[in-house]
Amino acid sequence: MAERIIIVKMGEMAVVSDGIKDVKILKTTLGSCIGIVLTDRERNVSGLSHIMLPSRSKDDPLLGKYADTAIPLLIEKIEKRGGKINNLKAYVVGGATMFGNGDLMLNIGMRNYEVVKAILEKYDIPIVYEDVGGNSGRTVTYNHNYDEINVKTLSKGFKNRKEVEV
């Protein structure tokens, strides 16, 4: 069986279901952005959204960029594939502080997380796994068929330069 990997870029989302017979893997790489997986295991529908900012700028048509518009849109797409909102559970990853401690007002990563968490609470969607904060990026891989999430924390620079010397 061939693996089908769907790369979700910044501000984008993807939804998978049982309509395709191969293994469905959703993947994204995050810094201060938030990756949110919503899954309805009963109806076998899952989606991943790569959220960049907490709230939508006026008239910006790119709804997937913002937590306040991306999450409702992801729910809508899951429901169109047969999912039910009261079956959803969430995996939340990302929200790193990528540029030092800085001014807390500029801490987009934690602001993203706080808005995502509030929206999920509003929809009564439980967070069953989270890996947020810190100062390193992450790569998230979600296997829809097995309901498995893997998070790789990315290091800053090379851990052992001798490994890359020629």
Encode pLDDT of 9-54 as tens digits.
999 999 999 865 666 899 999 999 999 999 999 999 999 999 998 7
Distance CA 80, CA 60 (A): 24
For the chain, which domains are there? 3-154 (3.30.1330.200)
pTM, full prediction: 0.86
Residue type, 100: G
Contact 10, 33 (CB under 8 A): yes
Task: Give pLDDT tens digits for 105-117.
Answer: 568 889 999 999 9
Distance CA 25, CA 109 (A): 25
